[in-house]
Chains A and B, each alone.
Chain A
Amino acid sequence: MKKTHIIALVFIAVLVGILISMLGDFSRYETFDSPYAQKGNEINVVGVLDKNEKMVYEPLIDPNKFTFYLQDENGGVREVVYKGEKPHDFERSDKIVVTGKLEGDQFKASKILMKCPSKYTEEANQTTSL
């Protein structure tokens, strides 16, 4: 076998190694009530803003706290607490993806990604993350 082949194999092994070592750490798309989420793993939840519930951002009291209720794709609703500012145009988003962990009844989000309804519009979306 040629040296270059051996080296190429080593590189492929490295790549596979990276993949396998990462697989366990990956965050997954889940719903609030899934067993995986209930264990307190970091998850991504896709949902919509629950407009029946209160959305609270009081910058004069704490500009770094924003809470709202998110309804996931199975209809489960949780209060989401985000330690940061309320993203601009949050109300307008039609779909929200939050990344974070369940802690008790609350979902502590570290990242909020919004998809805006303006169809055909590139880059109309914003991410906010800590």
Chain B
Amino acid sequence: MDIYAEGTNLIFGQIGHFLLIVSFVAGMAAGLSYYLAVKNSANTEKNLSWINSGRKWFIVHGFATIGTAIILTLMIHQHLFEYRYVYQHSSKQLPMRYLFAAFWEGQEGSTLLWMFWHSIIGFVLIFRAKKWEAPVMTILALAQIMLVSMELGFHFKIPSIDIDFSPFFFSFNWVDYKMGSNPFALAKDVMTLPVFSIDPNFVFEDGNGLNPLLQNYWMVIHPPTLFFGFACTTVPFAYALSSLWLRNYNDWLQPAIRWTLFTLMILGTGIMLGGLWAYEALSFGGFWAWDPVENASLVPWLFLAAGLHTALIYKYSRYSLVPTYLFLLAGMIFTLYSSFMTKSGVLGESSVHSFTDMGMSAQLVISIFVFLLPALWLFFKRYKELPGKKDEEAVSSREFWMFIGSLVFLVSALHIIIFTSFPVINKIIGTKIAPPDIAHYNSVEIWVAIMLLIGTAITQYFSYKQTNIQRLLKNAIGSLLVSIAIATPIIYYFKFYRLDFLLLAVTSVYAVIGNAHYMFRNLKGRMLHIGGSVTHLGFGLFMLGILISQGRQHVVSLNKYGINYGDSFTEEENAENILLYKNEPQMMSGYKVTYIGDSAALPNMYFKVLYQKFDKNNHLEDSFVLTPNVQFNKTMGNVPNPSTHKTFARDLYTHITTAPLNDDGTETDTLLTESKKVGIGDTVFASRSFAIFESLDPNPKLEDIELQKGDIAIGAKLRLYKVDTSYTIEPVYFIRDLVAASIPVKIDDIDVSFSLSKIFPQENKVEITVEQKLRKFIIMKAIIFPFINLAWLGFSLMFVGIALSLRKRLIEKK
């Protein structure tokens, strides 16, 4: 506490909050200037001067926003725990590489991250948007104002009206309202802890720390990428809305297509990194669990993918302008909706990883309507005058089938968002519907994937406007036959004998083969034009990888051999955890698995698990050691981390579910003593053994003690059963000079000792005490994901394909 001399650190918060206010005011000035530039677009001189003013204000705004982020970073770096945000999200032990992870762990930090990316995007737009600068920047500035308002933490009075109807009653009050949550607030000002009333100058010695689940490199790279993607969705929205606003329906398309491609690439990567993280850490239900938070981030991507396809249709054939507007506008609206769902606490009971409510729900809802209402209003106002062909596209045209593809995207997006919104619907109309499970989403979305895959394979063989049907059929059917030939062994090997699995296998191979064929045959592999084909081919591989790895993932640590773990266990029930005693191998799905030891590198405890595979002749074929670990954390409890053995054909996970350790990493008490009263014929259970009480022996043999006169010695004959042998043991009860003692029998190989602790002559019963030293053990789970690498390869190709398309759109001249 003494290192924080009074007041010296207050300057950080003061500068930080000051920059926030500058950012807010400059953002408003920029938005207003750009708005006036649009309003004065007829007057070149005025227009230019307002644009100039807008630029200056936005640059001030952008640097203030970036400055805010730098201050918060410094505060976390300097461990200024007098600040609530720093206290809640970091600690002294937190390694510096997680500095940024702590930065965006909380709502305020993640909003700041979003604002940061908006600022960067704004700088780019100032240089590149040319005649679209004024309207597009007006909208971007408005988005920034909404976001900054969530950081301000201003208190003010708002009017509140209460109306009761029976009896009619009307009251008007001023209530305190807090706008936003300020990341620069001092802990003593915003946290109600008794310690602050005792000592107002109290400063926490250490912070609450970063959740250990989040202490990994994914937390450093996933949120910035995802929020970059979210921020990017603002740009296609801004172009679409600007075009409606200015009634300029053609020129906006080229920049909008470029930004849509860029957004798809970044947002897609952000979502994918989340999936990779969930897959690797295995703690959020695997690669994709259809969690509301995951769904909410996928939906804007689907809308933009639909919008990209309709935009291309319009570019080449003048159809589908109306849906292009709707899809591109929806991209940002659903980004805002996703932020509302994640941050308002509405998902509390249905999501694994949502924030809790911070009393900002109203602001989050308002931010949606601030963009939704003008978008709808302008769209309907301009609807009648939107250009485009009014006749019908031919069924044999490429645009027709691309349009169908966009509709499939739309159905998928609506399905996901409606079903994810049940917590919101429940809140509004008071129903009690629980969100559907993973199986529901999979069972519907698999058909979406099948339709999209067929579309990507066939549509390219169509030409815009009219197609030579014979050539189309020859190509499409030719590559379909090749695909079926390739898919058949896959289906056979993985036993995909289910209509949807079977079709998904065929169609994903079809997407790969069809696109590869088109890419080399028709496009001759020209780098400038193959972007779409590469993306679609990648999608095919991705879906094939998902189908095999998720559809045929299996738990190998099935507990069906060896020891019977008690009466409650039956075959059908899931028993996915296996018990391993140290140095005692078990067979598990072809592997001989042994827990061979552990090593501590606090706060992590590593458990070494040896996997060995033998061939028919008992020669060692394969051998590797996996070291799953458990991380100890005082505030958050222990967190297990899996360890994975990767080959091209499969990933093998090993994951500790239980280890006999205390929270601080010390071993638990391993000596277990139990007594049981038994009659002749009764059984006493011990670790990996049991003993049956056969008889009392009045003349037991004693090895170390010579019997004296007056001594009493009684033995209990026990038949001891171990894994492969059984023999008789005899613990003895012994009295000399009125002092009783037990002489136990120790069984060294299983660390158990039996003693005769009491005798009940009239009942003809005895008490046997079993003392066993528990052997070190772990309970673990092991899962195999076959061919998951295909999915990663597929996604990488999608990324490259979109990048190639973007390059083409950047090179081409309008």
Contacts and interface: CB of A to CB of B under 8 A. Distances in A.
Interface in B405-445: 407-408, 410-411, 414-415, 418-419, 426, 432-434, 436-437, 440, 444
Interface residues of B, number: 71
Interface string A83-106: 111101100100101010000000
Most chain B C-beta atoms within 10 Å of own C-beta, residue among A25, A64, A84, A121: A64
A121 B168 CA distance: 44
A123 B568 contact: no
Interface of B: 88-89, 105-107, 110, 208, 211, 213-214, 283-285, 289, 348-356, 358, 392-393, 395, 400, 403-404, 407-408, 410-411, 414-415, 418-419, 426, 432-434, 436-437, 440, 444, 559, 565-566, 568-569, 573-579, 635-640, 657-658, 687, 774, 777, 779, 781
Interface in A16-67: 18-19, 22, 25-30, 43-44, 46, 57, 59-65
Q: Lowest 10 A-B CB distances belong to which pairs?
A: A123-B353, A89-B637, A85-B657, A62-B565, A63-B577, A27-B434, A44-B434, A63-B779, A64-B575, A29-B432
A30 B349 CA distance: 12
Nearest to B433: A26
Given A85-B781, A121-B211, A64 B559 contact: yes
A74 B213 CA distance: 33
B576 A28 contact: no
Contacts of A4: 392-393, 400, 403
A60 B579 contact: yes
Contacts of B393: 3-4
A75 B635 CA distance: 29
Given A4-B392, A15-B414, A61-B566, A126 B440 contact: no
Chain B contact residues: over half helix, strand or loop, or mixed?
Answer: loop
Given A64-B573, A64-B575, A125-B353, A7 B407 contact: yes
B436 A122 contact: no
Contact of A8 (B88, B407, B559, B657): B407
Contacts of A19: 418
Contacts of A130: 574, 576
Contacts of B213: 123-124, 126
Contact of A28 (B110, B208, B434): B434
B638 A88 contact: yes
A59 B575 contact: no
Contact of B106 (A14, A22, A120, A129): A120
Given A28-B432, A29-B349, A46-B349, A59 B407 contact: no
Nearest to B663: A89
Given A27-B434, A63-B559, A129-B285, A122 B578 contact: no
Contacts of A57: 658
Contacts of A116: 636
A15 B106 CA distance: 36
B105 A121 contact: yes
A18 B569 CA distance: 38
Interface of A: 2-4, 7-8, 11, 14-15, 18-19, 22, 25-30, 43-44, 46, 57, 59-65, 83-86, 88-89, 92, 95, 97, 99, 111, 113, 115-116, 118-127, 129-130
A123 B214 contact: yes
A61 B674 CA distance: 15
B432 A30 contact: yes
Contacts of A29: 349, 426, 432-434
Given A4-B403, A85-B779, A123-B284, A27 B437 contact: yes
B779 A18 contact: no
B574 A125 contact: no
A128 to B, nearest CB: 9
A124 B212 CA distance: 9
21 contacts: A59-B577, A59-B657, A61-B566, A65-B566, A85-B658, A86-B658, A95-B348, A113-B349, A116-B636, A119-B356, A120-B107, A120-B356, A120-B358, A122-B355, A123-B214, A123-B284, A125-B352, A126-B283, A126-B284, A126-B352, A130-B574
Given A29-B434, A122-B105, A63 B578 contact: yes
B637 A88 contact: yes
A2 B188 CA distance: 65
Given A4-B403, A83-B573, A14 B411 contact: yes
A59 B354 CA distance: 31
A120 B107 CA distance: 7
